[in-house]
Chain A
Amino acid sequence: MVQIFDVSVFFIVFRETLEASVVISVMLAFIKQGVGKSAEDPTISKKLVRHVWVGSAIGFAICLVIGGTFIAVWYTLGTDAWGASEDIWEGVLSIVAAVIISVIGLAMLRLNKMKEKWRVKLSKALDDSTLHGKGRFRRFTRKYAMGILPFITILREGIEAIVFVGGVALSSPAKAFPLPVVCGLLAGGGIGFIMYKGGDFMKIQYFLIVATCFLYIVASGLFSKAVWFLENYQWSKAVGGDVAEEGDGPGSYDIRKSVWHVNCCNGQTSGGWMIFNAIFGWQNSATYGSVLAYNLYWIALMVSVLLMLFQEKHGHYPFLKSWTEKRKVAKSARKEKKRLESMSQELDSRDGDSETKEVSVTVV
């Protein structure tokens, strides 16, 4: 099963698709609510919707092309360069996968926040675009703003996904790619659709909590496996070529580092145990390193959650209150400065309008 469905690929594609579909659904919701002149004219509304889809489709197509080329080139050039260092490859890639999944995982639980942030950002972008009018490029971007935004978003998300997938799944055979990619696309798209239709937020959130738990179980398993692979590499080097002969039996592992060993249930080779290995990081021959890595990962995760909750509640990380405040002051001072500059530019480049705008300066 593992050979045709790489779990980490699924989750990466799922996450990126989710974010992209959030963007699209927000945009479609805007249009429905009548932003950007669409309120006056239903045909404009339809046209803008089409822009959104066309922009998305073009972005998606380009991603597919880039992704497909990347994977094809990589695999034809040679995935057989493992040899004796296969264990090191597996170890390093597993760590990379674990880190990536860990970082994007918790973000999924702030989906609502994501949606709001996008709504605010997009509305600001749209407002700004109606203000600046000079130049052919600017006219183009203004006219097709509803298409360009999803295009850029999807392109960015897609390339992110390709890079992450490439980094994570190089140790899998090429046929382990298509299925998880398709599943990830469907799952992410599905959730975006539900959100657009205004589905029950709580139900989505529960689903996302379960999905995130699963994700972190996979990531903790990956991290444990990474350490295991590196220790296995050391053992293979010490013994020389005979390690493979031993299969699961005595001599296939280092007795000095062993925490448990059973002569069966090999997570690398035997049937159902391979799924256990893929999801939980199960090894029939565990070392002190792999067990400690597993537990330390969870402890690190718990500490991260505590820190993030603290930050969300108080606006700063523990012990960093004054530092955070100083940064906030500097940031808003910079923002104000920029606003004033752009205002004065407008005043200079105005074509004919003699309206004066009120300039309000807020000093914090």
Chain B
Amino acid sequence: MRAFSLLAALAVSATASLAATVQYDFSVEWVQANPDGAYDRSFIGVNGAWPPPPIECNIHDRVIINVTNNLGNEPTAIHFHGLFMNGTNSMDGPVWVTQCPVPSGSNIIYNFTVDQPGTYWYHSHFSGQYPDGFRAPFIVYDRDEPFADAYDVDTYLTVSDYYHNSIPWLSANKFLILTNPTGAEPIPDAGLFNDSQNIKFKVEPNKTYKIRIINMGALVSQYVWFEDHDFQIVEVDGIYVEPAEASMIYITVAQRYTILLTTKNSTDKNYPMVTSFDTDMMDTLPDDLVWNVTGWLTYDENGEFPEPALIDEYDFYDDFNLVPYEKEEPYEPDYSITVDVSMQNLGDGVNYAFFNDLTYVAPNVPTLYTVMSSGNDSTDATVYGSNTHTYVLGYQEVVEIVLNNFDPGKHPFHLHGHVFQVVERSDASPDDETFLTYNPDEPGTINEYPMRRDTVYVRPNGYFVLRFLSNNPGVWFFHCHIEWHLQQGLALTLVEAPAEIQAQQVIPDDHYAACKAGGYAYEGNAAGNTVNLFDLTGEKLQPKPLPAGFTARGIVALVFSCISAFVGMGFITWYGLSDLKTTEREVAAIVGEPLDDSDESK
């Protein structure tokens, strides 16, 4: 027995040593670019170039990224969207959740192994920063994928919305202000295919292309199709699925779809491919916005590039019906979290986003660092703050998230550190006044083998139910991936197995160094209190609610006004009753006779 385990250990270490280490050095800096032909603007690029380079590795590789922030005016942080970071929660990237913001002039090293195949992407996870350009694909190659022999070329295609103005400026001047009480999100100025427009996607006839499609946008979901070409969906968010025939996909921000597209026999035509905004998600539709972005499957570079045909309706494949290659039956939940999504105005007049009655406000200490410095109190959610909306999860339990959407908009929600089973997803409610909520006694449609992914959207006024196994100790963020809504606070924190995090994980020194360089606290509870973890004085809280009805000020104003009116009427009465004497005086003045006081009044 002992020999066998020794042999097994040797075998494992042998394979492990076959795994390579992929290293990148990123200097994050401002770069000028003009992707839609409008005008040059500053983008956040890497090593002097924009768009930032894709990160590519093989499954089981170790990836090391040495990031230096040379922006000069903003901090930064990188999140590797969809990677589980098992055992290395500190590398996940969201600021105030697993790390401090890395101030300009400082650096941080992300060092982790990737044990999952598929299509991912990396992007800034600091305060709405990534739509300013800091995002790119992260591809993990897998020789053993189920359809390894089914294609000829492995490539990727990104779609995105594009804002001409910088996000911090839009947020401060157009979005998170009291003169935007409906919380209307700023409208993008253009759409991009591969960070460009009018792209010519060169293809050869009779070949099968594996195209990894990634939506790196900030707001808008996109309908993507290739005219006259059907394809098979083979992977979503890193989960292989049974190939599903489709002619159009609906891809929300942060989602990935990998498709196998077989090209036609001949090279006589070029075919338009289109990514089209889901205009439901935009508050208004400006006349000058081109929200259908065209490229071409280019068979013949010298041929014609026709305009895409108009279509009557979006006939897209509903990802709810995808069947994972590795089939799982729906889990039975051990622990259930129910959250209601709504948008409301608080006392500063600004529109915020809520899970139940809390809108997320970042703590003074990253939640993971609170875990590491809270000893036995790490299982008490109080230490993580009143406004971080933290749930403490056990280890190896099935956790269920029920999300009821009380907002008439579509929202793509993302869970860090996991994929989840999408057990149920309702339709949109029939009208603005009705809301569909989860009722476990009257369940909706549940597939035999529920689809799994890491980013899924909920329909207007509808709900969804997610389940996953808490087998990955770490602090994981769950939030809407629309950057504007994240700024409005549509997020909550899951502290999964804190005791195991303390036992098994270490925060690298350079991460703490970044905190010190920025003057941020890195120990203690959400308020930064290292002495009494239950004393949260000094933590950041959400703004006070709007005053409901009459405040003291209102009552005083109303009473005073009534008094004015009554006293005024008293004066009028006094004036009216003094008519009689006056008349005689006036008449005397007109006629020129002296006033006769002995006159009787009429």
| Residues in chain A within 8 A of chain B (CB atoms) | 106, 109-113, 116-117, 120-121, 201, 205, 208-209, 212-213, 216-217, 220, 238-240, 242, 245-246, 249-252, 254-256, 259-262, 280, 286, 291, 294-295, 298-299, 301-302, 305-306, 308-309, 312, 315, 332
Q: Which of A117, A245, A260, A286 contacts B590 (CB 8 A)?
A: A117
Q: How far is the CA of A120 from the CA of B591 in the complex (A)?
A: 8
A305 and B574 within 8 A (CB): yes
B583's closest neighbor in chain A, by CB? Answer: A113
- Interface residue? B571 (CB, 8 A): yes
Q: How far is the CA of A262 from the CA of B548 in the complex (A)?
A: 7
- Interface residue? B349 (CB, 8 A): yes
A209 and B181 within 8 A (CB): no
Binary A-proximity of B548-584 (CB < 8 A = 1, otherwise 0): 0111011101101100110111011111111111110
Q: Which of B549, B579, B589 contacts A112 (CB 8 A)?
A: B579
Given contacts A205-B576, A205-B577, A309-B575, contact A291 B557 (CB under 8 A): yes
B550's closest neighbor in chain A, by CB? Answer: A260
B546 and A305 within 8 A (CB): no
B573 and A213 within 8 A (CB): yes
Which residues from B are CB-within-8-Å of A294?
561, 564
| Residues in chain B within 8 A of chain A (CB atoms) | 178-182, 184, 344-345, 347-349, 351, 546-547, 549-551, 553-555, 557-558, 560-561, 564-565, 567-569, 571-583, 585-587, 589-592, 601-602
B179 and A239 within 8 A (CB): yes
A262 and B550 within 8 A (CB): yes
A121's closest neighbor in chain B, by CB? Answer: B590
Q: Which of A242, A252, A298 contacts B568 (CB 8 A)?
A: A298
Which residues from A are CB-within-8-Å of B580?
112
B554's closest neighbor in chain A, by CB? Answer: A260
Q: Which of A117, A217, A220, A259 contacts B557 (CB 8 A)?
A: A259
Which residues from B are CB-within-8-Å of A306?
571
The 8 closest A-B pairs by CB, nearest first: A251-B181, A260-B554, A250-B345, A209-B576, A298-B568, A298-B564, A255-B349, A109-B576
A312 and B550 within 8 A (CB): no
Distance (whole angstroms) from the CB of A349 to the closest CB of chain B: 26
Distance (whole angstroms) from the CB of A238 to the closest CB of chain B: 4
Which residues from B are CB-within-8-Å of A239?
179-181
Given contacts A212-B576, A250-B181, contact A110 B567 (CB under 8 A): no
A292's closest neighbor in chain B, by CB? Answer: B557
Q: List 8 A-B contacts (CB under 8 A).
A: A113-B583, A212-B576, A220-B568, A250-B344, A255-B546, A261-B554, A294-B561, A312-B585
Which residues from A are CB-within-8-Å of B577?
205, 209
Q: How far is the CA of A106 from the CA of B578 in the complex (A)?
A: 12
B553 and A216 within 8 A (CB): no
Q: How far is the CA of A309 from the CA of B582 in the complex (A)?
A: 9
Given contacts A217-B565, A255-B546, contact A112 B575 (CB under 8 A): no
Q: How far is the CA of A253 from the CA of B183 in the complex (A)?
A: 15
Q: How far is the CA of A209 from the CA of B602 in the complex (A)?
A: 18
Q: Which of A205, A242, A255 contacts B182 (CB 8 A)?
A: A242
A209 and B573 within 8 A (CB): yes
Distance (whole angstroms) from the CB of A195 to the closest CB of chain B: 11
B576 and A302 within 8 A (CB): no
B178 and A255 within 8 A (CB): yes
B567 and A242 within 8 A (CB): no
Given contacts A255-B178, A262-B549, contact A212 B572 (CB under 8 A): yes
Q: How far is the CA of A299 from the CA of B565 in the complex (A)?
A: 9
A305 and B575 within 8 A (CB): yes
Given contacts A216-B568, A255-B347, A260-B550, contact A295 B561 (CB under 8 A): yes
> Total A-B residue pairs with C-beta atoms closer than 8 Å?
141
Distance (whole angstroms) from the CB of B359 to the closest CB of chain A: 14
Given contacts A301-B568, A302-B571, contact A208 B583 (CB under 8 A): no
Given contacts A111-B579, A250-B345, A250-B349, contact A242 B573 (CB under 8 A): no
Which residues from A are CB-within-8-Å of B561?
291, 294-295
A287's closest neighbor in chain B, by CB? Answer: B557
Q: How far is the CA of A308 from the CA of B345 in the complex (A)?
A: 51
Q: Which of B557, B579, B589, B602 contacts A109 (CB 8 A)?
A: B579
A213's closest neighbor in chain B, by CB? Answer: B569
Q: Which of A116, A205, A305 contacts B586 (CB 8 A)?
A: A116
A298 and B565 within 8 A (CB): yes
Q: How far is the CA of A359 from the CA of B276 in the complex (A)?
A: 102
B546 and A250 within 8 A (CB): yes
Q: How far is the CA of A239 from the CA of B345 in the complex (A)?
A: 14
Given contacts A208-B576, A298-B568, contact A260 B349 (CB under 8 A): no
B566's closest neighbor in chain A, by CB? Answer: A298
Which residues from B are CB-within-8-Å of A251?
181-182, 345, 349, 351
Q: How far is the CA of A120 from the CA of B590 in the complex (A)?
A: 8
Given contacts A239-B181, A250-B546, contact A209 B567 (CB under 8 A): no
Which residues from B are CB-within-8-Å of A212?
572, 576
B178 and A106 within 8 A (CB): no
A335's closest neighbor in chain B, by CB? Answer: B592
Q: Which one of A217, A246, A254, A295 has the highest number of Cβ atoms from chain B below 10 Å of its Cβ?
A: A295
Q: How far is the CA of A294 from the CA of B564 in the complex (A)?
A: 8
Q: Which of A111, A120, A286 contacts B587 (CB 8 A)?
A: A120
Distance (whole angstroms) from the CB of B587 to the closest CB of chain A: 5
Distance (whole angstroms) from the CB of B187 to the closest CB of chain A: 13
Q: How far is the CA of A87 from the CA of B230 in the complex (A)?
A: 56
B283's closest neighbor in chain A, by CB? Answer: A242
Q: How far is the CA of A286 from the CA of B555 in the complex (A)?
A: 11
A306's closest neighbor in chain B, by CB? Answer: B571
Q: Which of A220, A246, A315 contacts B181 (CB 8 A)?
A: A246
Distance (whole angstroms) from the CB of B345 to the closest CB of chain A: 4
Which residues from A are CB-within-8-Å of B601?
201
Which residues from B are CB-within-8-Å of A305?
571-572, 574-575
Q: How far is the CA of A280 from the CA of B601 in the complex (A)?
A: 36
Q: How far is the CA of A109 from the CA of B576 in the complex (A)?
A: 5
Q: How far is the CA of A255 from the CA of B543 in the complex (A)?
A: 14
Which residues from B are CB-within-8-Å of A113?
579, 582-583, 586-587
B582 and A312 within 8 A (CB): yes
A280's closest neighbor in chain B, by CB? Answer: B565
B179 and A238 within 8 A (CB): yes
Q: How far is the CA of A306 from the CA of B179 in the complex (A)?
A: 45
Q: How far is the CA of A217 from the CA of B572 in the complex (A)?
A: 11
A205 and B180 within 8 A (CB): no
Distance (whole angstroms) from the CB of B175 to the closest CB of chain A: 13
Q: How far is the CA of A205 from the CA of B589 in the complex (A)?
A: 23
A116 and B583 within 8 A (CB): yes
Q: Which of A110, A112, A213 contacts B572 (CB 8 A)?
A: A213
Q: Which of B348, B553, B575, B578 contacts A259 (CB 8 A)?
A: B553
Q: How far is the CA of A185 from the CA of B542 in the complex (A)?
A: 60
A242 and B564 within 8 A (CB): no
B351's closest neighbor in chain A, by CB? Answer: A251
Q: How far is the CA of A292 from the CA of B115 in the complex (A)?
A: 69
Which residues from B are CB-within-8-Å of A116?
583, 586-587
Q: How far is the CA of A255 from the CA of B550 in the complex (A)?
A: 13
Which residues from A are CB-within-8-Å of B602?
112, 201
B576 and A308 within 8 A (CB): no
Distance (whole angstroms) from the CB of B35 to the closest CB of chain A: 28
Given contacts A242-B184, A305-B571, contact A255 B582 (CB under 8 A): no
Q: How far is the CA of A129 from the CA of B575 in the complex (A)?
A: 37
Given contacts A239-B181, A250-B181, contact A216 B572 (CB under 8 A): yes
Which residues from A are CB-within-8-Å of B344?
250
A208's closest neighbor in chain B, by CB? Answer: B576
Which residues from A are CB-within-8-Å of B565?
217, 220, 280, 298
Q: Which of A246, A249, A291, A309 contacts B578 (CB 8 A)?
A: A309
Which residues from B are CB-within-8-Å of A220?
565, 568
Which residues from A are CB-within-8-Å of B345?
249-251
B182 and A245 within 8 A (CB): yes
Q: How far is the CA of A249 from the CA of B546 in the complex (A)?
A: 10
Q: How far is the CA of A249 from the CA of B178 in the complex (A)?
A: 13
Q: How far is the CA of A148 from the CA of B582 in the complex (A)?
A: 30
A243's closest neighbor in chain B, by CB? Answer: B181
